[in-house]
Amino acid sequence: MSAEDFTLIDGETTSQVSARHLDELAARGDRPLAVDREERVACLGLAAAARSAALASLEAPDFALPDLVGRTHRLSDHRGGKVLLVAWASW
């Protein structure tokens, strides 16, 4: 791995990219980009227009998340029945 490389996080994917590629992504500006130059890590997000359009379609976005014992559950496992989705936190 070159000293020039950055770790780029894009959703579930992590890859190594050059500083130049990072600058190109930043210049493109079509997706939100968070960068830590010292730590050489960056994170690409989803553009507001894309996220808004997805939500406005009224299709409930699918997800895959673990339970306490590490088993993965998907929203789509429950297609065919009504679902009450509750986001909460210990804080």
| Site residues (vs other proteins, CB under 8 A) | 9, 32-36, 38-39, 41-48, 51-52, 55-56, 58-63, 65-68, 73, 75-76, 78-91
Cβ 13 to other proteins shortest distance, Å:
12
Which CB, 18 or 37, lies closer to other proteins? 37
Cβ 47 to other proteins shortest distance, Å:
6
d(C-alpha 66, C-alpha 35), whole Å: 28
Q: What is the DSSP letter of 12?
A: T
Distances in Å between the Cα of 87 and the Cα atoms of 72, 82, 90 are: 17, 16, 11
Which CB, 3 or 65, lies closer to other proteins? 65
Cβ 52 to other proteins shortest distance, Å:
4
Which position has the token pair 């996220």? 51
d(C-alpha 34, C-alpha 9), whole Å: 10
